[in-house]
Structure 1
Amino acid sequence: IAGVAVAVGIGGPGATFWMILAGLMGMASKFTECTLGVKYRNEYADGTVSGGPMYYITKGFAERGVPGGKILAVFFAVFCILGSLGGGNMFQANQAHQQIAGIVGDYPGWITGVIFAGVVFAVIIGGLKSIASVTEKVVPFMGILYVLAALVIILMNLDKVGWAFGQIFEGAFTGLGIAGGFVGALIQGFKRAAFSNEAGVGSAAIAHSAVRTKEPITEGVVSLLEPFIDTVVICTMTALVIIITQQLVIDPATGNYMVENGNIVTASGASGVGLTSAAFGSAFSWFPYVLAVAVILFAFSTMISWSYYGLKAWTYLFGEGKSKELVFKVMFCIFVVIGAAANLGPVIDFSDAAIFAMAVVNIIGLYVLMPVVKREMVSYMGRLKSGEIRKFKSR
């Protein structure tokens, strides 16, 4: 909701093209990292599981005789903790506060932060089962709600959809605008795609590692659907709503994009969720209220999910134990308050830096361990064709 607005606001409509392309390419990296996450996870006697890049980089590199795995894993864990506090926490709280304040009137962000922190703490203190029970109910509801709202606006402006896609393709390869030129569109598209679907970042592999399966490849196949649904479908719908309703134009004086009412669209100004809210509100005056519910639900589910990612990175560095886990959970909730009270510019810069650092380390690991994934896939497909897997399941 917010990330797409940042991409289109800074990179112009053309950023959408690169965002879609990054989503399609992200299907491959998501498949690879989630397969590795299940294969190299740690399973403990009490039934808990720890997995993700920290574990498959350490174990996989050692298995293949590649040095430096432990060092890379430590780097990833540090960056993952920072990413959980930034993109998975402060950015979410910040954008939720912006949307609420836009409806009820301006008020101190720390108030929103304290409320969110209290609710988030109550959920994450219950552990993974508590997180799963909440997100499995919240995510489908908010997804359907948001998609239906976007579909209504697109169908109402069906005659402009062709023009909007024309703007997307034209903007992807032209050099118009300082920030919205070819390079700006490409960078913003890829940054926001990675921010939304986390493909290649490694965070999703931490969650997928907790699945109940003995076949790593099956989880890889499930996971590759995520970038397609999240980025190719839902993020494209958001971009279309913004482009159709706001009609972004370039300010010849600055080269920045601005909407037709003259407000300059930048990462720290009329961007993020505010731009998306304006786009939805232009169709129906009450849509920002619907969007506020979606934003709150998205932000809440993202925060409690990222708290789990950060926690697993924390326990990898400092060891398992309830007291150690509690330290991270309290720190995580403090950053919820900080994010809600801060300005968007510094928050998104910090978030991008942390997530980029995670991706660099993780993708190095994915390239080194690609042969392992290929072996797993060949083995699984062979057993599937021979009927061995079906026979095993029927026993």
Structure 2
Amino acid sequence: MLDLLNDLLWGKLLIAVLLILGVWFTLASRFVQFRYFASMFRILGSSQAFKRDPNGHLSSFQALVLSVAGRVGGGNIAGVAVAIALGGPGAVFWMWVVGLMGMATSYFECTLAQTYKKAEPDGTYRGGPAYYIARGLGEKWKWLAVVYSALLLITFGFGFTALQSYAVATSVEDAFGVPAYYTGIALALVVGLIIFGGVKRIAKISEVLVPIMALGYIGITAVVLALNVSEIPAALSLIVKSAFGLEPAIGGGIGAAILMGVKRGLFSNEAGLGSAPNVAAVAYVPHPANQGIVQSFSVFIDTIILCSCTALIILLSGAYDPASAGTQGGVALTQMALADHVGEWGRMFVSVALLLFGFSTILYNYYLGENSLNFFSEENQSLFNAFRVAIICLCCGGAIMNLGTVFAFADVTMGLLALANLVALALLFKTGLRVMKDYDQQRANGVKVPVFDADKFADLNIDKNAWKAEAPQPDAEPQGEFAKAN
């Protein structure tokens, strides 16, 4: 039954929906992910991106690294290897397509999450697909918000936490000979110390850990590229040709390349799943589009940069054999490939990278689960503490579990999660476009830092308390709610 549902969701339905909506969002927004590509760096380079306001809201940068912590995980190391093994090198091309189109999808889902975010009594924000479904689509769609929250809890809060623990523990065991249950216990202890501090502590850990692990992985890839510089054009050509069936069948042919590319691409960058908006909503930003632009960049980091790093490490190595790749495990293939380039310490590097990626993803998964619980029962600390204990148990137990069925089940729930979110995005696209045009208009009028004026959107069910400014903006003349507060 799980195989049948997986085939229906991933083999037919989601591929069509993801690509159609990705192209629609890209064209209707006049290629927003490319128009504002330079702005991604400008926003992140401004003082506003790192600003911590008096109420202790997360900064735009903290929200970015927290979402990157979730997007960057086993999918970047093991997932890419699995895609190449089963779909051939052409799967990487379709991962790129999903990533580039997903940048537009991520822009709109994170912009909507910011628009419909809710102010909490403790000075933080809550938001995400469940919130923009309930507030944006109205009472008759409340059922979809409930379904989405339940799927988010099951998929990320429970399923993917166990899977990440298993991936980390088995990788450490292969590389260092440490029994999986020891790694599980250690992981549970460290994760427990962090998650009991809430999202602010998770963000503080992530803003240090994520740049280190991402730059370290990019650095080792740069070494590999330097050692194989003459082979890079051939590897890129193989990726493109295989994507369109212009090479002898590698993996499962063009159909498998598209299937594995789309499936692993979405699994890795999560654009359209609605997971990242849960984090994007907590940031303190002057305009929803700011966080949409920043979160679009996180998809680029994940898919176009980090997934490409793994792909090139594999395809440039002597360890990759198209005839037997399908029998090689994901992590094992990446480990063998890097060891072929730099020696046996490459296996340990992959294990350490997977440990850091998996650890950051578990923290992210915890917050998604907490946010889904909050939708059902606001700020229920007893419920949160029970969930934290469950996460600690999953970190420990997941390391030694046989997770074949869990993985298949998580694939199904992830597909349903994406479907629910994509339906909501299609229905709320006009609202997202309206918010984007407000940002565009302010930029066209010379406003350096566009500011969201909730009064201009009085017809929308927006929580105005979430858009009251506590401090004037240092980069521009105050506008809208910011001006009224100052």
Partner in structure 1 of residue 148 of structure 2: 76
Partner in structure 1 of residue 216 of structure 2: 145
Match of 1:122 among 176, 182, 193: 193
Moved more, 94-103 or 82-91: 82-91
User: In the alignment, does 2:114 pair up with 1:38?
Assistant: yes
Q: How many residues align?
A: 376
Whole-angstrom CA distance in 2 between matches of 1:238 and 1:87: 24
- C-alpha displacement of 1:297: 1.1
Alpha carbons 1:19, 1:189 under 8 Å: kept:
yes
Whole-angstrom CA distance in 2 between matches of 1:288 and 1:179: 24
- C-alpha displacement of 1:295: 1.4
- Structure 1: gaps of 5 or more residues: 252-257
User: In the alignment, does 2:309 pair up with 1:237?
Assistant: yes
Whole-angstrom CA distance in 2 between matches of 1:210 and 1:236: 29
Alpha carbons 2:250, 2:322 under 8 Å: kept:
no
Partner in structure 2 of residue 198 of structure 1: 270
TM-score where L is the length of structure 2: 0.73
Report 1:128-139 matches (<5 A): 128-139=199-210
Alpha carbons 1:86, 1:351 under 8 Å: kept:
no
Whole-angstrom CA distance in 1 between matches of 2:175 and 2:239: 30
Alpha carbons 2:319, 2:337 under 8 Å: kept:
no
User: In the alignment, does 2:99 pair up with 1:27?
Assistant: no
Task: Tell me the alpha carbon deviations over residues 204-228 of structure 1, each in whole angstroms, 9 at most, x when there is no partner.
Answer: 0000100002411111111111111
Match of 1:332 among 367, 391, 414: 391
Partner in structure 2 of residue 254 of structure 1: none
Task: Tell me the alpha carbon deviations over residues 182-219 of structure 1, each in whole angstroms, 9 at most, x when there is no partner.
Answer: 11111111111111111111010000100002411111
Partner in structure 2 of residue 278 of structure 1: 336
Whole-angstrom CA distance in 2 between matches of 1:323 and 1:236: 43
Partner in structure 1 of residue 168 of structure 2: 96
Question: Are residues 153 and 117 of structure 1, via their aligned partners in 2, closer, same or farther at CA, if it must alter by over 3 Å?
Answer: same
Alpha carbons 2:158, 2:391 under 8 Å: kept:
no
**Counterpart amino acid of 2:259?**
I
Question: Are residues 220 and 11 of structure 1, via their aligned partners in 2, closer, same or farther at CA, if it must alter by over 3 Å?
Answer: same
Whole-angstrom CA distance in 2 between matches of 1:69 and 1:297: 39
Whole-angstrom CA distance in 2 between matches of 1:47 and 1:183: 49
CA RMSD of superposed structures (Å): 2.0
- C-alpha displacement of 1:234: 1.3
Task: Tell me the alpha carbon deviations over residues 271-307 of structure 1, each in whole angstroms, 9 at most, x when there is no partner.
Answer: 2222111111111221222222221111111110110
Partner in structure 1 of residue 360 of structure 2: 301
Whole-angstrom CA distance in 1 between matches of 2:410 and 2:232: 32
- C-alpha displacement of 1:350: 3.0
Task: Tell me the alpha carbon deviations over residues 332-382 of structure 1, each in whole angstroms, 9 at most, x when there is no partner.
Answer: 222222322134644432332222221110010101001001111111221
Moved more, 207-216 or 330-339: 330-339
User: In the alignment, does 2:411 pair up with 1:352?
Assistant: yes
Whole-angstrom CA distance in 1 between matches of 2:279 and 2:214: 19
Question: Are residues 8 and 344 of structure 1, via their aligned partners in 2, closer, same or farther at CA, if it must alter by over 3 Å?
Answer: farther
- C-alpha displacement of 1:82: 1.6
Task: Tell me the alpha carbon deviations over residues 227-266 of structure 1, each in whole angstroms, 9 at most, x when there is no partner.
Answer: 1111011101211111111464444xxxxxx14xxxx53x
User: In the alignment, does 2:87 pair up with 1:11?
Assistant: yes
**Counterpart amino acid of 2:386?**
V
Question: Are residues 29 and 87 of structure 1, via their aligned partners in 2, closer, same or farther at CA, if it must alter by over 3 Å?
Answer: farther
**Counterpart amino acid of 2:349?**
V
- Structure 2: gaps of 5 or more residues: 1-76, 451-475
Question: Are residues 310 and 225 of structure 1, via their aligned partners in 2, closer, same or farther at CA, if it must alter by over 3 Å?
Answer: same
- C-alpha displacement of 1:121: 1.2
**Counterpart amino acid of 1:326?**
N
Match of 1:362 among 421, 429, 444: 421
Whole-angstrom CA distance in 2 between matches of 1:331 and 1:133: 23
Partner in structure 2 of residue 323 of structure 1: 382
Moved more, 138-147 or 281-290: 281-290
Match of 2:400 among 334, 338, 341: 341
Whole-angstrom CA distance in 2 between matches of 1:37 and 1:372: 12
Moved more, 231-240 or 377-386: 377-386
Partner in structure 1 of residue 9 of structure 2: none
Report 1:240-259 matches (<5 A): 240-246=312-318, 248-251=320-323, 258-259=324-325
Which of the pair has the greater relative contact order for Cα pairs under 8 Å at 6+ separation?
A: 1
Whole-angstrom CA distance in 1 between matches of 2:369 and 2:330: 24
Report 1:150-161 matches (<5 A): 150-161=221-232
Whole-angstrom CA distance in 2 between matches of 1:137 and 1:298: 13
Whole-angstrom CA distance in 2 between matches of 1:346 and 1:106: 25
**Counterpart amino acid of 1:11?**
G
**Counterpart amino acid of 1:221?**
I
- C-alpha displacement of 1:113: 1.6
- C-alpha displacement of 1:312: 0.5
**Counterpart amino acid of 1:154?**
L
Report 1:173-184 matches (<5 A): 173-174=244-245, 180-184=252-256
Whole-angstrom CA distance in 2 between matches of 1:246 and 1:40: 50
